Amino acid sequence: MSDELLSKSATEIGALIRDKQVSPVEVTRQSLDYARSKNEQINAFVSFRDEQALAEAAQAEKEIAAGEVRGPLHGVPMALKDNLYVAGEVTTMSSKIHGEFVSEHDATTVAKLREAGVVLTGKLNMHEYAWGIDNNSPHFGPVHNPWNLDKVPGGSSGGSGAAVAADMSYSTLGTDTAGSIRIPSSANGLVGLKPTHGRVSKFGCFPLAWTLDHIGPMSKTVADAAAMLGAIAGFDRRDPTSVDAPVDDYLAGLGGDPNGLVIGVEEDYFFRDVDSEIERMVRARIDDLVARGATVKNVQIPSLRYSEWTELATSLSEASAIHHQDLLDRPQDMGSDIRFLFYLGELFSSVDYLQAQQARRQIKQEFTAALADVDVIMAPTLPVMAPDIGSEVADLNGSPVDLVQAFIRYTGPSNLTGLPALTVPAGLNDGLPVGLQLIGKAFDESTLLRVGGYVEESDPMGGTRAPHSASPVRAV
């Protein structure tokens, strides 16, 4: 085993395991050893499953030797965000209140990953109750960005993003209520997919806001994201928001070329108040696709001007309802940042919430109309770069702006509409990754992944990997 194997993508290491070139037991053992050695520096893990993981890897090895291959992720070790329940084991939500919570059942996504033969190595740090975007936990400490240890990794799935970027996990799942898959994926140079609302079951995931929550993959490559979605997608009657829609073969759907692709660009919202270098990189990636045969069509979504208030009213109201009793009984055990937000959420009236749902419906209708004329809408994932840990502001072309408001501004609309959204790396700005976001039609993740693959083919990162990873050199 070598550091080069740790830096492989999930589908790459899965192919080596499937072809019996490497043992899933040895891959799992090295992944665990390496993750432990890096954790003091990155702080991505909150717990490890050494004994259980090695037993699962041994079972995978036995099955593969017998020709019983479950799919492209069979035998691949990975850790999961600590708000996804694992039966009989502690799931903390990075909180003090649920610090010893043990579920009797696996989350549906966890069960599906087990069915795919994935080896679970541990649980990953996150912003408390998934209610934040910098992953600076008062209970478990801050997660550090592997591209620059002084910078935030994004959140709330910050441990997930940092773990994959640092090669501590081959892939993972994040949860996304206002951008918490795409924000840390962008900040860590990963591919992050928020599927259509209802595509992936949320049963066994501690909620933040019922109507906005999603679960999806955070991966090194588009192929990994496709394989992960293929493993976890599907109807689940235990989740009342689950939709019984056909599930594609997302891996098989990759490929082709962008000739004839129609890219939607919404200038008024998604290219307003954005870091100039981020804008340049995103437009350069769009130009790359145009040079390969794609066309650009300007679209208009006027109701986006209401999206920030609508997201705020919806998420704060729903989150405060979920945590209302703990806010009455144990407010001192919450981090000061989320306690403030839960109190704030109790100030919204029923009129405020219902008006927000009316605005939400209008935004979704306008997105649907815009997407009728294009294949995808492209935009920056984040309008600003990741700031230092502990900062409450980010830099926007020389001016300070509120970090939370800036980080969720371009990602929140896809939670309101439930439409699928994908972030892929667009390049590096002063040594930190920049993400490009694609928004697509409902239940058409295949198109998003295929187009994300076209962007990936141009190698916008130039083969560069995070300095604090297993192989911090230019990839070959």
List, by residue number, the catalytic residues. 81, 156, 180
User: Could you tell me which residues come within 8 angstroms of residue 269 by beta carbon, excluding any fewer than 6 positions away?
Assistant: 301, 304, 305, 307
Place of tokens 């919570």: 101
CA pseudo-torsion sign 404, 407, 408, 409: positive
Identify which of 375, 360, 352 has the alpha carbon closest to the alpha carbon of residue 414. Answer: 360
Q: What's the per-residue H, E or C state across the chain?
A: CCHHHHCCCHHHHHHHHHCCCCCHHHHHHHHHHHHHHHHHHHCCEEEECHHHHHHHHHHHHHHHHCCCCCCCCCCCEEEEECCECCCCCECCCCCCCCCCCECCCCCHHHHHHHHCCCEEEEEECCCHHHCCCCCEECCCEECCECCECCECCCCCCHHHHHHHHCCCCCEEEEEECCCCCHHHHHHCCCEEEECCCCCECCCCECCCCCCCCEEEEEECCHHHHHHHHHHHECCCCCCCCCCCCCCCCCCCCCCCCCCCCEEEECHHHHCCCCCHHHHHHHHHHHHHHHHCCCEEEECCCHHHHHHHHHHHHHHHHHHHHHCHHHHHHCHHHCCHHHHHHHHHHCCCCHHHHHHHHHHHHHHHHHHHHHHCCCCEEEEECCCCCCCECCCCEEEECCEEEEHHHHHHCCCHHHHHHCCCEEEEEEEEECCEEEEEEEECCCCCHHHHHHHHHHHHHCCCCCCCCCCCCCCCCCCC
